[in-house]
Amino acid sequence: MPKKTEKNFAGLAAKQSRPPLVRMIRIHERLQGGRHTNCSQLAEELEVSTKTAQRDIEFMRDQLQLPIEYDAAAHGYFYSKTVTQFPTLTVTQGELVALLVAQKAVQQYRGTPFEKPIASAFEKLAAGMKEETGVSLHELSEAFSFKPASLAAKELRAFEIIAQAVVKTREIEFSYQSLTGRAAEARRLRPYHLGCIADQWYVIGFDLDRRAIRTFALSRAQAVKITRRTFERPADFSIQEFLAGSFAAFQAQKTETVKLRLDAFAARLAAERRWHSSQEITPQNDGSSLLTLQVGIAPDLENWILSWGEHATVLEPESLVENIAGKLRTMAKHYGLS
């Protein structure tokens, strides 16, 4: 990662850059006590152009309503009235912690079109915070972390193009190989929604060849091109409704009642997270639990069940029991077991 990119995200904790509010606070400090200053002096001290310094002065005077006037004889600006405090953003300690955690979480957007505006927004918020919170931004930054799944280089290229297409409602063309396909196929799509589901990015839209709404993983989309053809996103399209019965990203034709028995080990882990909005966990006398979901049967659900290993047993529906049993038999053969 280039040092310049890293520095953009470090601004919140270390205040290494000088966003507008930081500069204005410095100007405020110079003007307090009746001192005069001009744009040339400010530009040199703040390491910006004289035009930028002039804009900061004008913003403080016109938007923040600070009593700044120009003294032609002294060739400098000054406060015509006493100003005891610079207008700042007041936040609670809890809000500050939440802000830091959120800043850590957006690390996954490094290298994407969202990086610069996100970094700029956090810098502005940090610059306007009062120090009376008694909390060090740097210390909080060191106390919290977030380990996201980063975008791969090829996925990043697809992300940038598709993000533009979603915003501009333009059709895209790309080559795509499904998990079960033997070769990549040309696809044409009207992208309705770009979403991060279980740490992986997907584009959901109307497949012009299949004449139906489909979901595509960005990691398997190649040679993505944005076209000149525009479209109107259906007013009745809802991503919440579209994924309502999905366990993760795969859309299923129908929703079914899925029941699992989790042993004591898995029961404790399952209770610590909410895996799906429909989940119900019923503790049993022996320490195990019954987990019930209202979801569609799809590969992501089956893979999740298999990830529990011997700690989970499917009880219903029968079709899912057979699917999981079949996969386990195949796995046993891979290890030379009957």
How many folded domains does the chain comprise? Answer: 3
Distance between the two ends of the chain, CA-based, in angstroms?
Answer: 49
How far apart are the C-alpha atoms of 59 and 81, rounded to whole Å?
17
Q: Could you tell me the strand order of the sheet in which 212-217 lies?
A: 212-217, 200-207, 185-197, 170-176, 221-230
One domain for residues 190 and 224: yes
Does 5 fall in a domain? yes
Does 248 fall in a domain? no
In the numeric block, the tokens 């990203």 are attached to 249
Q: By C-alpha distance, which of 227, 190, 184 is closest to 209?
A: 190
Does 82 fall in a domain? yes
How far apart are the C-alpha atoms of 8 and 12, rounded to whole Å?
9
One domain for residues 182 and 286: no
One domain for residues 128 and 237: no
- pLDDT for residue 132: 45
Does 251 fall in a domain? no
Q: Which amino acid is at 40?
A: S
Q: Please tell me whether the peptide bond between 20 and the residue prior to it is cis, using omega within 30 degrees of 0.
A: no
One domain for residues 143 and 27: yes
Q: Which amino acid is at 276?
A: H
Q: Give yes or no for a contact between 270 and 283, defined as CB atoms under 8 angstroms apart.
A: no
In the numeric block, the tokens 């006493």 are attached to 82
- pLDDT for residue 205: 94
- pLDDT for residue 47: 85
Q: Give yes or no for a contact between 259 and 291, defined as CB atoms under 8 angstroms apart.
A: yes
One domain for residues 295 and 267: yes
CATH number of the domain to which 288 belongs: 3.30.70
- pLDDT for residue 6: 41
One domain for residues 129 and 168: no
How far apart are the C-alpha atoms of 95 and 97, rounded to whole Å?
5
One domain for residues 100 and 181: no
- pLDDT for residue 116: 67
pTM of the predicted structure, to 2 decimals: 0.58
Both tokens assigned to 56: 């900061």
Does 250 fall in a domain? no
Backbone angles phi, psi at 134, to 5 degrees: 70, 15
- pLDDT for residue 326: 94
CATH number of the domain to which 205 belongs: 2.30.30
- pLDDT for residue 180: 78
Does 40 fall in a domain? yes
DSSP H helical ranges for the chain: 3-14, 20-31, 39-46, 50-62, 93-105, 115-127, 137-143, 153-168, 239-242, 264-270, 299-307, 318-334
One domain for residues 181 and 128: no
- pLDDT for residue 107: 61
> Taking the CB of residue 68, how many other CB atoms lie within 10 A of it?
20
202: containing domain: 153-242
DSSP label at residue 37:
B
Which residue among 127, 148, 169 closes a domain?
A: 148
One domain for residues 12 and 109: yes
One domain for residues 264 and 231: no
Which residue among 242, 267, 295 closes a domain?
A: 242
- pLDDT for residue 146: 58
Does 200 fall in a domain? yes
Give strand pairing partners of 200: 197
One domain for residues 63 and 87: yes
Backbone angles phi, psi at 187, to 5 degrees: -130, 150
Encode the chain (338 residues) as per-residue pLDDT tens digits: 444 434 443 443 333 345 677 788 888 888 887 778 999 999 888 888 999 999 999 988 988 889 999 988 888 999 988 887 777 655 565 666 666 666 655 666 666 666 666 666 666 666 555 544 444 555 555 665 656 666 666 777 888 899 889 989 999 999 998 877 788 999 999 999 988 887 788 999 999 999 999 999 998 999 999 999 999 999 999 888 888 888 888 877 789 999 999 999 999 998 888 888 889 999 999 999 999 999 999 888 999 999 999 999 999 999 999 999 999 999 999 998 86
How far apart are the C-alpha atoms of 11 and 6, rounded to whole Å?
9
One domain for residues 143 and 5: yes
- pLDDT for residue 112: 63
- pLDDT for residue 267: 93
Does 234 fall in a domain? yes
- pLDDT for residue 147: 63
Q: Give yes or no for a contact between 67 and 12, defined as CB atoms under 8 angstroms apart.
A: no
Which residue among 148, 175, 210 closes a domain?
A: 148
In the numeric block, the tokens 């500069």 are attached to 23
